[in-house]
Structure 1
Amino acid sequence: MTLTAPTGVTARALAPDLARGFMLLLIALSHAPAFVGDWDAGPAALDTAAKFIKSLLADNQARDMFVFLFGYGLGQLAHSRQARGGDWASIRSLLRRRALWLIVIGFLNTVVLVPIDIIAVYGLTLLVLAPLVRARDSVLWWTGLLTLVPATLLLAWQSVVAQAKPVNMAEFMEPTFAAHLVAAIPSWPVETAISTIMVVPGMMLGIWAARRRFLDEPERHLPLLRRVTVVLIGVAVAGRLPAALLAAGVWTPTSVPVSWAVAVAHDLTGYAGGIGMAAAVGLVAVKVRPGRLTTALAALGQRSLTFYLFQAVVWVVLFYPFTLGLRDGVSFVVTFGIAVGVWLLSIVLAEWLRAVGHRGPAEVFLRRMSYGRPKR
């Protein structure tokens, strides 16, 4: 199969990559605590502060930033292919190949590494909704709004259940790697299919935003980006604060309706916060001076798939019984330190890959499978 080569790294806009690099920190903060058995094992004040921060900043907000940027990337891809003379049939075929290989990567991530995966969910959603990448703006908005209701209710249901009994991955870890390899397979298809509804709203808005190049050319959209940043992050903080205080143990819901109201507010405004943070990074990209830190963080964002999987590798190595088995040996707040350390190490490794002229291995694989061998 011979296809036109994809856009090179040098042609990428700064803001989306900075946003993806920062997003990986939020994902690490969200995921790392899920692999320890006792969330109250450390100093009470520090564990309480970490739980508050995790709920306010990361839970059901890191993913929403991720999916917005995923949709934005789809919009960028469609724009670049059209600008280079590609017709819709070839673009749709490319998107579907990409979707299928995302499903494969996500399945392997779930089975071999950790059963906390969003990659296959993205792939399945794209496979089903690929025609919407070129849909009218009104279709994108209505699709996003109509799916926002069931998506929020599904997330809120999960949150209400977690309020009653927090669930972490430590409870489901298998004692051997062989058992681990088969444990997640039975539930993977259903969980992946159900989870697609949660990513549609952010994906639709990301595609719409990419058409207007809000993050590709943030200097042209400064007033809008400022309003979006202030309003959406403000809404997110207000809506998510009750749940964050609940997670920290400051208060306890008095009834089931209150539990649901807190959960709905937290998860609904997570969409606002994720998009608001992406807009904030757009503002930073305009003001920041080029330098080693900016370049390194952007390099991480360019390789976000690779380092999302890298995080999963680290969680397996550190926490599972058949590896280092730290699930019962560290506290909640220590996992925050681990998460930050993994993110910083990711920046260093991504910058090294950039310096030697290599994409991330996951990006290389996905591009090769999606595009085929480029023309010489």
Structure 2
Amino acid sequence: MLNKTRSLAPDLARGFMLLLIALAHAPAFVGDWSGPAWLAFTKSLIADNQARDMFIFLFGYGLGQLAHSRRAKGLEWISTRKLMRRRAWWLIAIGLLNTALLVPFDIIAVYGLTLLALAPMVRARDSVLWWTAGLTLIPATLLLAWQSVIAQAGPVTMTSFMAGTFGEHVIGNLPTWPGNALAGTIMVVPGMLAGIWAARRRLLDEPERHLPLLRRLAYGGLALALIGRLPAALLAAGAFPLPATPLRWAIAVGHDLTGYAGGVGMAAAIGLIAVRIHRRGPLTTALTALGQRSLSFYLFQAVVWVVLFYPFGLGLHDDLSFAATFVIAVAVWVVSLLLAWLMHAAGYRGPGEVLLRKLADRPETPVSSQVEAPARLSP
């Protein structure tokens, strides 16, 4: 059976996050973006470069949880570091396969590369975490803003790059992987380090002990995101014409920089909600089950996008509208909720999580047991 002692808030946040990821990704697979302006407004305000930041924050939080649990079991840091690096290599491999076989934008390999490079940051001083996060926030925001400025002139969708056959799809995707993964690594660092810091204080594991801080993070982060992201959302909705280049950059920087605050703010808001949940009903159970299997259902979404939209699948990229992709995104998330709930009821973990653990984890003995081992082996 699954571990019943897991904290509620992190899994709730991961389950909700997959809805935002679906809303951000699904429209990228159709060429016709005409439709209700409020949908473009909503996507820009809530999902674009904010859902990913929430995902990144929760990834860092998970690293902090892992370090805390292993320390509580008496395991040495060197074994934790080796485990993290093994997981990093396998995340890179899984992400590479995801890029080659499914969709060319991937976050899993980016997580692996970042973890491989920065595993020691899990036990760095708070000041080191914040200085590193602050310094990397500058290039991370500029890279995101560069992409956003290009998108302001018109959506750049996957329809221009879709291959006619699966073989051509794989061959075409592979060359894009190194550059995308390395650039993505820079974007991940600030949010990941913030997540590690939050996990040290167990903000989401013990939210009832941190209500004032969670309120400041939730209300302040979401308010800042609303103010900073509103101009870009209005531009996406066509509320005003495309401005001059300097103002376009200012709008993009404001949108993407405050997306980090919004991602943390949404996670903190879910922490506040978790405190008020005294009984786990069906929806809460399904959401947490989905959050516990976030890797599996992130990959599940990628499979759905390939099957629905690519020419060697159902080829619906030219038949569906921008608005229809929102319906599909919500439907995929609801199906994911149902499947996760059924897996929870049956006692099955997510296949992605099981595979990663089998590949990367090894049986280990606490330090105290290691000291006593030679005596037990004596005749």
Is the TM value for this pair above 0.5?
A: yes
Correspondences of 1:127-276 after superposition (within 5 Å): 127-276=116-265
Q: Which amino acid aligns with 2:9?
A: A
Other-structure match for 1:3: none
Q: Which amino acid aligns with 1:12?
A: R
**How far does residue 8 in structure 1 lie from its aligned partner after superposition?**
5.8
Among candidates 306, 314, 320, match of residue 316 of structure 1: 306
Among candidates 331, 337, 341, match of residue 321 of structure 2: 331
**How far does residue 374 in structure 1 lie from its aligned partner after superposition?**
8.0
**How far does residue 329 in structure 1 lie from its aligned partner after superposition?**
0.5
Distance in 2, matches of 1:184 and 1:90, equals 35
Gaps of 5+ in 1: 1-6
**How far does residue 116 in structure 1 lie from its aligned partner after superposition?**
1.4
Report Cα offsets for 1:228-265 as digits up to 9, x if no partner.
Answer: 11111000011000000111111123211100000000
Distance in 1, matches of 2:2 and 2:113, equals 26
**How far does residue 370 in structure 1 lie from its aligned partner after superposition?**
1.4
SS of 2:239 mapped into structure 1: coil
Correspondences of 1:48-67 after superposition (within 5 Å): 48-67=37-56
2:30 is the alignment partner of 1:36: yes
Other-structure match for 2:6: 12
Distance in 1, matches of 2:301 and 2:116, equals 26
Correspondences of 1:334-345 after superposition (within 5 Å): 334-345=324-335
Residue pair 2:225, 2:261 contacting (<8 A) in 1 also: yes
2:74 is the alignment partner of 1:80: no
Other-structure match for 1:116: 105
State the TM-score, normalizing by the size of structure 2: 0.94
SS of 2:174 mapped into structure 1: coil
Corresponding residue pairs, total? 364
Other-structure match for 1:306: 296
Percentage identity across paired residues of the two chains:
68
In angstroms, what is the RMSD of aligned CA positions?
1.3
Distance in 2, matches of 1:226 and 1:252, equals 37
Other-structure match for 1:101: 90
SS of 1:145 mapped into structure 2: helix
Distance in 2, matches of 1:155 and 1:56, equals 15
Q: Which amino acid aligns with 2:119?
A: A
The structure-2 alpha-carbon separation of the partners of 1:360 and 1:291, relative to structure 1 and needing over 3 Å to count, comes to same
SS of 2:224 mapped into structure 1: helix
**How far does residue 122 in structure 1 lie from its aligned partner after superposition?**
0.5
SS of 1:253 mapped into structure 2: coil
SS of 1:345 mapped into structure 2: helix
Report Cα offsets for 1:43-63 as digits up to 9, x if no partner.
Answer: x4x3x1111110000000000
State the TM-score, normalizing by the size of structure 1: 0.95
Runs of 4+ in 1 over 4 A off after TM superposition: none
Distance in 1, matches of 2:281 and 2:2, equals 21
Q: Which amino acid aligns with 1:114?
A: V
Residue pair 2:21, 2:47 contacting (<8 A) in 1 also: yes
Structure with higher Rg: it is 2
Q: Which amino acid aligns with 1:37?
A: G
Distance in 2, matches of 1:176 and 1:184, equals 12
